[in-house]
Amino acid sequence: MSRHFIDRNAKYLVLLCASASFIILAAIALFTLREGLPALQEVGWLKLIFGTEWRPSLDKFGILPMIVGSLAVTLGAMILAIPLGVGCAVLLAEVAPHRVRQFLRPAVEILVGIPSVVYGLVGMLLIVPLIREIGGTGYSIAAGALVLMAMVLPTIISISEDSIRAVPRRYKEGSLALGATHWQTIWHVLIPAARSGILAGVILGIGRAIGEAMAMIMVMGNAIQIPTSPLDPARSLAGGIAVEITYAGGLHQNALFAVGVVLFFLIMVINSFAMVVMRRRGERT
Amino acid sequence: MSAKSSQKIAMAFIWGSGVITVLILFLIIGYVLARGVPALGWDFLFTAPKGGLSGEGGISTAIVSTIYIVILTIAMLIVPGIGAAIYLSEYAKDNWLTRIIRYGVDTLAGVPSIVFGLFGFVLFVTALHFSFSLLAGALTMVCLLLPTLIRTSEEAIKAVPRSHREGALALGATKWQAIWRVVLPSALPGIVTGIILCIGRIVGETACLYVTIGGSAAMPTSLLSGGRTLSLHLFYLSMETNAFEKAMATAAVLIITILIINTIINWISYRFQARMRGGA
pLDDT value of residue B15:
94
The reported pLDDT for the residue numbered B280 is 44
**pLDDT class for B276, splitting at 50, 70, 90?**
low
pLDDT at A34: 92
Among residues A22, A26, A13, A30, the alpha carbon closest in space to that of B98 is found at A22
**CATH code for residues B42-277:** 1.10.3720.10
pLDDT at B278: 57
pLDDT of residue A125: 93
Contacting residues for A43 by C-beta, under 8 A, at least 6 apart: A51, A61, A255, A258
Torsion angle of alpha carbons B74, B146, B265, A13, nearest 10°?
A: 80
- Quick one: average pLDDT of B141-167? 93
Q: Is residue A132 part of a domain?
A: yes
The answer to whether A185 touches A113, Cβ cutoff 8 Å, is no
> How many contacts does A have with B, using Cβ atoms within 8 A?
280
Q: What pLDDT shows up at residue A258?
A: 93
State the best of A91, A121, A243 to mutate against chain B, taking most chain B CBs within 10 Å. Answer: A121
Q: How many CA atoms lie within 13 A of A180 on its CB side?
A: 16
Render pLDDT for A45-95 as a digit per residue (tens, 0 to 9): 888 888 888 888 888 888 899 999 999 999 999 999 999 999 999 999 988
- Note the pLDDT of residue A285: 46
Residue A122: which CATH number?
A: 1.10.3720.10
> Domain spans of chain B?
42-277
- Taking CA atoms, what residue in A is nearest to B214? A246
pLDDT, tens digit (0-9, with 9 covering 90-100), for A192-201: 999 888 998 9
Q: Which residue of B has its CA nearest to A104?
A: B22
Identity (one letter) of the amino acid at A270? I
Integer CA distances (angstroms), B131 to A254, A257, B122, in order: 18, 18, 10
- Give the number of other CB atoms < 10 A from CB of residue B109: 18
Whole-structure pTM value: 0.91
Predicted confidence (pLDDT) at residue A281 exceeds the cutoff of 70: no
Q: In this structure, how many other beta carbons lie within 10 angstroms of the beta carbon of residue B166? A: 12
Residues A157-170, mean pLDDT to the nearest whole number: 91
Determine the 3-state secondary structure of B95 from DSSP: coil
Helices (H), chain A: 3-43, 45-50, 64-90, 98-113, 116-122, 128-134, 141-165, 169-177, 182-185, 191-193, 195-211, 214-220, 237-245, 250-284
Q: What is the mean pLDDT of residues B249-256?
A: 94
Strands B56-57 and A54-55: unpaired
The residue in chain A having the minimum alpha-carbon distance to the alpha carbon of residue B267 is: A106
- From chain B, the residues in CB contact with A32 under 8 A are 115, 118-119, 122
Query: Is residue A112 a part of any domain in this protein?
Result: yes
- For residue A127, being part of any structural domain is answered with yes
Question: What pLDDT score was predicted for residue B230?
Answer: 92
* Partner residues linked to B213 by β-bridges: none
* CA atoms within a 13 Å half-sphere pointing along the CA-CB vector of A152: 33
Higher pLDDT, B220 or A178: A178
Q: Is residue A100 part of a domain?
A: yes
* A21, A31, A212 member nearest B105 (Cβ): A21
Nearest by CB to residue B174, choosing from A4, A14, A19, is A4
Q: What is the pLDDT of residue B46?
A: 83
Of B8-22, B48-62, B80-94, the least confident: B48-62
Question: Which positions in chain A touch B244 (Cβ < 8 Å)?
Answer: 121, 125
Tell me the nearest-neighbour CA distance from A47 into chain B, angstroms: 22
Q: Is the confidence at residue B31, as pLDDT, over 90?
A: yes
Rounded Cα distance between A179 and A181, Å, is 6
* Three-class SS state of B179: helix
Cα A66 from Cα A222, distance rounded (Å): 9
> What's the CA gap between A162 and A47, in Å, rounded?
43
Q: How confident is the model at residue A41 (pLDDT cuts 50, 70, 90)?
A: confident
Asked whether the predicted pLDDT for residue B123 surpasses 90, the reply is yes
pLDDT at A152 over 90: yes
pLDDT at A283 over 70: no
Q: How far apart are CA A255 and CA A257, in angstroms?
A: 5
Looking at every residue in chain A, the average pLDDT score rounds to 89
Which residues of chain B are within 8 Å of residue A119 when distances are taken between CB atoms?
A: 28
- Mark yes or no for CB contact A122/B31 under 8 Å: yes
d(CA B250, CA B91): 45
pLDDT the model gives residue A1: 62
Confidence band, pLDDT 50/70/90 cuts, at residue A123: very high
A177 domain residue, yes or no:
no
Across A157-166, average pLDDT: 92
Residue A22 with chain B: CB contacts under 8 Å: 100-101, 103-105, 108
pLDDT tens track for A201-230? 999 899 999 999 999 999 998 888 888 888
Share of chain B above pLDDT 70, in %: 96
Q: How many domains does chain A have?
A: 1
For residue B23, pLDDT beyond 60: yes
In a domain, A70, yes or no: yes
Residue B223 pLDDT greater than 80, yes or no: yes
Domain span at residue A199 reads 54-167+193-284
Kindly identify which residue of chain B lies nearest to residue A84, measuring between CA atoms: B17
